[in-house]
Structure 1
Amino acid sequence: MSDATRIRMTLAEFKAMPETSGFVEFIAGEVIVSPTPKYPHQQSVAKIHLYLDGLDLAGEIVLSPMDVYFGEDALEPDVFWVMPGGRCQLGEDGYWYGAPDLVVEVASPSTVYRDRGRKFEIYEEYGVREYWLVDTDARFIEVYALVDGRFERKGVFGKGTEFTSAVLGQTVKVDMLFK
């Protein structure tokens, strides 16, 4: 898969761009256009969304493409959950502002560097309470929880395992996310 295309512009210019169905983020003054995800990535995103939806959580479960604004950055998490009254709010412009309670990123070759790097830092800085990094090839989930303003790695969970999500208040069966 090819690398992402990067274009410098201001946040105001980014917000003035026409809507797109592609994967476009704005980080540190750069528009980052990534290749369309492949089927296994999208299949995982759909399964995670369906699993979370089946938990009957209050609030909103949102799929990409959907911008979430963190200060001067606009990211597109693959899946995120916003609890009622949480820090992330839907703006009048139809975009989300602030830290969702849960962010899930499904790693792909063109995004894994950002998912583990700058996006990880932004999610941590703005107070995302729980971050799941999913590897569809290796079939595991790396789970981070915000503790005293820093992400703490709770573990790597693979086939046949489960973990407790403090944010969701649920035990998550990893096999259900990959079946």
Structure 2
Amino acid sequence: MGDPAPKHRTFEELLAEIDRLPEYLSGEILEPGQLRVLPRPDAPHRRAVAQCERALYYLSPMDTPGDGAWWIEREAAIRFGDRLFNPDLAGFRVTRSPEQPDEYPITLLPDWCCEVLSPSTARDDRRIKLPHYARSGVGWVWLIDPEIRLLEVWQTERERPLLVASAAEDETPRLPPFDLEINLAPFWILPKPVEPSSP
């Protein structure tokens, strides 16, 4: 007789395991029953997230009353059925959620998600998370790549992600779904100057 098949861990069991992780690690359930544990992001990743969050700061209900207001959450644990994603940023229109989401994990579907790509996450962000966001009904997804200094805007069409815009370097585009211009220059860490070679 062979070894018994490994037990399929439930969402609740995996969530409890995530909750026990030390602060320098984060966990997601990208596929049902499977836990992905990663170290916290590096400096280029953290900078892009912080600058994107800062650019969207004035969309908060305190500063933008009415239909243009958003709740922006950083690294919130969001449940998608039997999966758990921690998008770098997630946005909820105040017209859909008058109160800021305050559950754990969040079960309300975001209207927008942003993933900042890094060497350890880029493949799964594109191959697993982007199409799953679209299948789940997230209307908009931004993918930001600090290494090549590129921001891509994906819109969900018939449960599939469709690339509708991109911007790079020091552009100041007006990117959906937000009605404001965003200066991308602060998103990127400038390369270190090359030391002149000695004669």
Query: Which TM class, normalised by the smaller chain length?
Result: 0.7 to 0.9
Return the letter of the residue paired with 1:12.
E
Find the aligned partners of 1:24 and 1:96 in 2 and give their Cα distance. Answer: 15
Aligned residues of 2:73 and 2:90 also touching (Cα < 8 A): yes
How far off is 1:96 after superposition?
Answer: 1.1
Find the aligned partners of 1:164 and 1:145 in 2 and give their Cα distance. Answer: 15
Find the aligned partners of 1:147 and 1:23 in 2 and give their Cα distance. Answer: 31
Find the aligned partners of 2:136 and 2:20 in 1 and give their Cα distance. Answer: 25
Residue 195 of structure 2 corresponds to which residue in structure 1?
none
Cα shift readout 1:13-36 (whole Å, capped 9, x = no counterpart):
023333543221012210100122
TM-score normalised per structure 1: 0.82
Return the letter of the residue paired with 1:38.
D
Residue 123 of structure 1 corresponds to which residue in structure 2?
133
- Match status 1:54 vs 2:54: no
How far off is 1:63 after superposition?
Answer: 0.7
- Larger strand percent: 1
Find the aligned partners of 1:13 and 1:119 in 2 and give their Cα distance. Answer: 21
When residues 19 and 170 of structure 1 are mapped into structure 2, their CA distance, relative to the original with a 3 A threshold, is farther
TM alignment of 1:28-47, pairs within 5 A:
28=31, 29-47=33-51
TM-score normalised per structure 2: 0.75
Q: How many residues align?
A: 169
Specify every segment of 5 or more residues in structure 2 that has no aligned partner in the other structure, as ranges.
1-7, 190-199
Q: Which is higher, the Rg of structure 1 or of structure 2?
A: 2
Q: CA RMSD in A?
A: 2.2
How far off is 1:118 after superposition?
Answer: 0.6
Find the aligned partners of 2:50 and 2:172 in 1 and give their Cα distance. Answer: 19
Q: What secondary structure, in the 3-state scheme, does the structure 2 residue paired with 1:151 have? A: strand
Residue 192 of structure 2 corresponds to which residue in structure 1?
none
Residue 28 of structure 2 corresponds to which residue in structure 1?
25
Cα shift readout 1:43-88 (whole Å, capped 9, x = no counterpart):
1111111111134452311111x2100111000000111112438x
- Match status 1:149 vs 2:159: yes
Aligned residues of 2:44 and 2:188 also touching (Cα < 8 A): no
How far off is 1:128 after superposition?
Answer: 1.1
Aligned residues of 1:51 and 1:177 also touching (Cα < 8 A): no
How far off is 1:148 after superposition?
Answer: 3.4
